[in-house]
Structure 1
Amino acid sequence: MPKIVVPEDRRKAVSEAVVRVVRRAGVEGATLGSVAKEAGLAIGSIRHYFADHEAMMIFTMDQLGHRIGERVAVRVTRLLAADSDRRTLVEDLLAEFLPLDDERRDEAVAWLAFTVAARTRPAFRESADAQHQFLRDLITRILSEAVALGRLPKQLNLTVEAVRLSALLDGLTMQAVLQPESTPPELLRSALRNSLP
Structure 2
Amino acid sequence: MILRGGIEAASVRNVAAEAGMATGSLRHIFPSHESLFIELMADNATQAAAQIQAVYARELAAGTPMRDMFLAVLREVIPLTDTTRTQLVVQLALFTAHPDSAPIRESIKDAGAKLDQLCTDIVGQLRPDLAPTDNASANLATDLRVALDGIALRCLENPAFATDATSRGAEATLTRALDRITEARITEA
Which TM-score band applies after superposition, normalised by the shorter structure? 0.7 to 0.9
1:102 and 2:100 matched: no
Change (3 A) 1:79 1:146: farther
Q: Secondary structure of the residue that 1:157 maps to in structure 2?
A: helix
Contact 1:76 1:93 in 2 (8 A): yes
* TM-score calculated relative to the size of structure 1: 0.77
1:178 is aligned, of 157, 167, 175, to 157
Q: Secondary structure of the residue that 1:98 maps to in structure 2?
A: coil
Unmatched segments (≥5 aa) in structure 2: 182-189
Structure 1 residue 171 displacement after superposition = 1.6
Change (3 A) 1:37 1:181: farther
Q: Distance in 2 between matches of 1:172 and 1:117?
A: 23
Change (3 A) 1:29 1:178: farther
Structure 1 residue 67 displacement after superposition = 0.4
1:33 and 2:13 matched: yes
Match of 1:57 in 2: 37
Match of 2:170 in 1: 188
1:20-79: CA deviations, max 9, x gaps?
x22222223311112122223221221132122111110000110010011112333456
Match of 2:185 in 1: none
Q: Secondary structure of the residue that 2:79 maps to in structure 1?
A: coil
Number of positions where the alignment pairs a residue of Structure 1 with one of Structure 2: 175
Q: Distance in 1 between matches of 2:18 and 2:164?
A: 28
Contact 2:60 2:69 in 1 (8 A): no
Structure 1 residue 130 displacement after superposition = 0.4
State the identity %.
29
Contact 2:12 2:26 in 1 (8 A): yes
Q: Secondary structure of the residue that 2:80 maps to in structure 1?
A: coil
Structure 1 residue 190 displacement after superposition = 1.4
Change (3 A) 1:81 1:162: farther
Match of 2:186 in 1: none
Unmatched segments (≥5 aa) in structure 1: 1-20
C-alpha RMSD of the superposition:
2.6
Which residue type is aligned with residue 160 of structure 1? N
Change (3 A) 1:156 1:92: farther
